[in-house]
Amino acid sequence: MWSSLPIGKHKGKTLPQILLTDPDYFFWAMEQDDFFRGHLATEAKDIHRKARRIKIPKPDPDNWRVEYFLSPDGKFAHFDIVESNRPPHVGSSRTSRAATLDFAYVRQTKDYDKLGYKLFIKSFKYFYFDSETARLSQSKCEAFFDEPSNFL
């Protein structure tokens, strides 16, 4: 059972909902050491740890990589899931690869990037919920973070 935020812009939402709808806000709040207190602090640390190490949704995830794409001006563009032996991307976009999906990636490339996170969530929905337009309800968000097999 996840706790709801008692105040603020996301009042009534749970941390899984916030992370999957407004990750920039979640990571900003985590950087404010005293933002989440008590049981919310424990839940926030758990979500933060999980969000940094999400398994690739393939039957053999060790043979796949998350490939992050930045636009030529250094802003987050999207991510793709590619076979680990696929040659590196050639083009004007900078890329990097990782063995797991890291929700903090966008914030690490730029302190504040709402559009970048909007594009990140679009890619996330496509690969993890089979549709860029999937509706991430409270129950879907919570179920994703309740499933241990989604994380390393």
Query: H or E segment at 67?
Result: strand 64-70
pLDDT over 70 at 129, yes or no:
yes
Convert the pLDDT of each residue in 52-82 to its tens digit: 999 999 999 999 999 999 998 889 999 999 9
Average pLDDT, the chain: 94
Q: pLDDT at position 34, please?
A: 66
pLDDT over 80 at 33, yes or no:
no
Q: pLDDT at position 147, please?
A: 97
Separation between Cα atoms, residue 67 and residue 129, nearest integer Å: 18
Convert the pLDDT of each residue in 94-118 to its tens digit: 999 999 999 999 999 988 889 999 9
Q: pLDDT at position 4, please?
A: 92
Q: Minimum mean pLDDT among 9-13, 44-48, 87-91, 96-100: which range?
A: 87-91
pTM score: 0.93
Query: H or E segment at 39?
Result: helix 39-51
Q: pLDDT at position 23, please?
A: 96
Q: Which residue has the higher pLDDT, 93 or 99?
A: 99
CA quadruple 20, 116, 58, 128: dihedral sign: positive
